[in-house]
Copies of this chain bind each other. A is one copy, B any other.
Amino acid sequence: MKVNTKGRVGIRDVAAAAGVSATTVSHALNGKGRLPDSTRERIAQVANELGYRPNASARNLVAGKTGRLGIAVSSAPGVPFGLSDFDYFIQMLSSATTAALEHGLALVVAGPNHEQTAFERIEIDGAIVIDPVVNDPLVSDIRTRGLPLVTTGRIPSAEATPDDGTCWVDNDHVAGTRSILDHLADQGAERIALLTSTPVTSYTSDAAEGYETWCAEHGCEPLVSIAEGALNEGSGFVAAAALLDMPEPPDAIYATLDRLALGALLAARAREVKVPDELLLAGCTDSQASEWAQPPLTALALDPEEIGRQAVEMLITLIEGDRPRPKHQYVPTRVLTRESTAKRGS
């Protein structure tokens, strides 16, 4: 029996220290085989003391897996890239990376320049697609290859098929939108506008749906402004300007992307419309930019870290295929109250 080949502690080192065979260690640590709990615990403790970390390559080799998960940020065909906010993306990526590594898997990021062939040349065990758009080429590519797939945000489709067996993690954007509209109304808003983009993702169409339902329930006239082109402060500025320059401008704006909200803030500032005194302003997706804006922006926090973590866990379950196939998972949203929606007169 060879021990401690190269400094790194292997399964055989643990076996030697615990006075058992390598197989037993493997079984004990993976919950397989026939072993009494006492032995399992003893081995787990020894492994822990020795700082044993299983070698992912060896494990993947026998399992016939690549040990890699792909994650791609989707890009709409024709729609400029930029649906995802940087903070949102990096937070989600970060937690997803950590979650994957805890399972000994590496998360590989495919950028939008790969277009539809993102994972064509890359060998992976499964993939996550962030915010897929209508008829997403990435999604069909992955499906064609027969790879396990999880999306964050649902796959939007022309037909309304909410439960078609796809696996996704999503916020309940309909409910989230309603909760932030409630907040705005609580703060005294009487004429709330929606600043959004073309509904190419499930997220944007959910927000529109939530807004329209809420307006109908509260007897308000819907007031929607669509930001065209790139979804950034520039297009937000323009779309918000259109609202502010109306004969009867809104007294509150909810923007479905933080960068749109920031653009609205700049538009208000340019017109010397005071936020929050004359205009309440809230955005979706919290970010550092929202936090540091003047005034700081109220936001609908989406918890991207939780979404990333759950998407990875779901994908791994799907790949391993032993536990029952997971389906959907909703991550709760939260209204993060800041100065931009402070009650007027208070």
Contacts and interface: CB of A to CB of B under 8 A. Distances in A.
A185 interface: no
A282 B42 CA distance: 65
Interface stretch (A210-218, A263-271, A313-321): A263-271
B57 A66 contact: yes
A90 interface: yes
A230 B289 contact: yes
Interface in A40-80: 53, 55-58, 60-61, 64-68, 73, 80
Contacts of A109: 93-94, 97, 107, 109
A288 B82 contact: yes
Contacts of A90: 73, 111-112
14 contacts: A8-B64, A61-B61, A68-B106, A82-B289, A86-B86, A94-B112, A101-B108, A101-B122, A106-B106, A107-B109, A230-B288, A233-B266, A234-B265, A237-B266
B66 A94 contact: no
Interface residues of A, number: 60
Q: Which 3 A-B pairs have the closest CB atoms?
A: A94-B111, A270-B270, A106-B106
Contact of A113 (B60, B80, B91, B121): B91
A61 B58 contact: yes
Contact of A289 (B106, B123, B234): B234
B89 A110 contact: no
A91 B65 CA distance: 28
Interface in A81-135: 81-82, 85-86, 89-91, 93-95, 97-98, 101, 106-114, 121-123
A53 B106 contact: no
Contacts of A123: 53, 56
A193 interface: no
Contacts of A263: 233, 266
A229 B288 CA distance: 10
Contacts of A266: 233-234, 237, 263, 266, 270
B80 A292 contact: yes
